[in-house]
Chains A and B, each alone.
Chain A
């Protein structure tokens, strides 16, 4: 069937197999020459596409065990983060790290080694995985942990499914008193201000900035910083203190059809960004976790806003020392092109964990572009700026980077390749992305 990532670019006709049990999965995998595992398809590009066989893990979505003393949850790879939240927030537990959508699977989060607004404090999701089970090319199942198959464990976290199929994992949740976040919003008039704010917000558990990627000149880099802490019960308004772990179900909306390709243009997006920046209310608020972490999940199928042709998300990270110069160059180029989106995000990351994992200490910028020839040409220019500043792009978002530009960004690629050569010398586990990048 026709498959794509969340950006709906590129698309490919893939044979899809959806196993219900471990036996079915192993049998299906054994019969394939080439395959890749896929979760809920929230990687933006071609990371979870394989025309020969794409293994849809969403039917393998059972909770296996939970230890209320340690907070360790064991679950099959296809479990949704949304299901973990639904079941465990009311019991006072929260994922240690969460990406910006809850419609991802556990296996997908591990394969992309996702980070969240607390990366500078908590690292990636991989830092909280106690162990995982991996189906290897020969049908064996390897248990991987820091003290067991340690190299394979490290390569699998962030390994984009190229070391095998993640079957299950044990993830350590964090205890919470309430389902709410004490959020502080601050305005930054330019890039210097927002970078200073990130530095002075280091002690906050969560921090992220929305950045106006179309602002130019003296306003270049203007942004809104959101920082947050899990709220204590006594910080909640009186009416919420009785049931601090309960959040009212949120109303969702659905984008009903593909918007015409021209609706999002430099004027509409520029107007939105100006309005969004001016209307923001600096100050403190108590917001529920859904609104703080997953604002876009309230708009189902928002990926249709970019029209039938789809979009690409560009996320890069620049080493800290080069971040100011690099961000200035990137934002200037994007603003001149007028091609950016209203979903542009800036964040200061902590140190990375190596192999294929994306984060490194420095600033990460993420923004969306309609998938058209002009944008794709612009992104190639951005690749050059990123490379010149020693940065790298995020595989979970990527749909189009050239192999040479990608490889320059990952100094630990050799280590990853060595592990893979050992466990999967014939490259049974491949995706359109891994072939494009020569991984």
Chain B
């Protein structure tokens, strides 16, 4: 039975991923800073799909503790998925460098470090998959969320480089770009229906990417087109736009 480790497991997307992988027969390890909140989800996954499940404490910002965290799992999971993310408040990040750094650490430094550490160990084993949930916000910086977007851009570039480095080692790297997802993060924000995925769609897309050997996944394919258009706008025009 394969094991999947889900980092940042209290989010809606993480819960959906846990169910999708458990349904496929994987045992799941849910990791989060406030891991005591995960007890109900662990019980649910076990009962629903008859797989093994447990919750562990994990702090993505504790870089020095990452190696020990992976050691303490016992055996290295087959798949490690980082759903860690923190939107922050753009206006606050503009005023307060500490707040901005926290957004950067949560969306880039921390997730990149733990996936890098896991990938190194997988190389030694000769197999494994690491999955990073990045964001289309990283494809071009916008006034509305560029602190978050810049961190995601860094994370996307990191995953791309890691994939490049690990090609041929038996370890795969998958970048997931969800676009809008109907989660707590987007509640109260009117997002276009066509562009908004359900958390379950993100989970299905990740499992499908792992099965089919995809590298970069736009959960809703229309986003590939939307972002191509946004990237193609010349900077002298883009800088005047409010999108």
Contact = CB atoms under 8 A, between A and B. Distances in A.
B41 A62 contact: yes
A292 interface: no
Given A18-B187, A20-B12, 8 more contacts: A18-B184, A20-B184, A62-B40, A62-B43, A62-B44, A64-B40, A64-B44, A66-B47
A95 to B, nearest CB: 16
Nearest to A17: B187
B190 interface: yes
B12 A64 contact: no
7 contacts: A1-B190, A16-B187, A21-B40, A62-B41, A62-B43, A63-B43, A63-B47
Nearest to B48: A87
Nearest to A63: B47
B37 A65 contact: no
B72 to A, nearest CB: 26
B49 interface: yes
Nearest to A23: B37
A85 to B, nearest CB: 12
A33 interface: no
A163 B37 CA distance: 28
Interface in B6-65: 12, 37, 40-41, 43-44, 47-49
Interface string A1-28: 1000000000000001010110000000
B43 A64 contact: yes
A87 B45 CA distance: 11
A83 interface: yes
Contacts of A21: 37, 40
Interface in A57-72: 59, 62-66
A1 B44 CA distance: 30
Contact of A63 (B12, B37, B44, B190): B44
Given A1-B190, A21-B37, A63 B48 contact: yes
Interface in B160-201: 184, 187, 190
Interface of B: 12, 37, 40-41, 43-44, 47-49, 184, 187, 190
Contacts of B184: 18, 20
Contact of B47 (A1, A59, A87): A87
A16 B37 CA distance: 23
Q: Is the interface of B mostly helix, strand, loop or mixed?
A: helix
Nearest to B44: A62
Interface string A41-82: 000000000000000000100111110000000000000000
Contacts of B47: 63-66, 87
A81 to B, nearest CB: 14
A65 B47 CA distance: 7
Contacts, number: 28
Contacts of B12: 20, 59
A83 B48 contact: yes
Q: Which of A1, A16, A63 is packed against the most chain B CB atoms within 10 Å?
A: A63
Contacts of A87: 47-49
- Closest A-B pairs by Cβ, 3 of them: A62-B44, A63-B47, A63-B44
Contacts of A64: 40, 43-44, 47
B55 to A, nearest CB: 13
Interface in A167-195: none
A1 B193 CA distance: 13
Nearest to B46: A63
A223 B187 CA distance: 47
Contacts of B187: 16, 18
A48 to B, nearest CB: 18
Interface in A79-95: 83, 87
Contacts of A83: 48
A402 to B, nearest CB: 35
Q: Which of A1, A59, A83 is packed against the most chain B CB atoms within 10 Å?
A: A59
A87 B46 CA distance: 11
Contacts of B44: 62-64
A404 to B, nearest CB: 39
Interface string A263-279: 00000000000000000
A21 B43 CA distance: 14
A62 B187 CA distance: 21
B34 to A, nearest CB: 11
Contacts of A18: 184, 187
Nearest to A84: B48
Interface string A122-163: 000000000000000000000000000000000000000000
Contacts of B41: 62
A21 B41 CA distance: 11
B205 to A, nearest CB: 19
A119 B102 CA distance: 58
Nearest to A20: B184
A18 to B, nearest CB: 6
Nearest to B39: A62
Contacts of A66: 47
A181 B49 CA distance: 25
Contacts of B40: 21, 62, 64
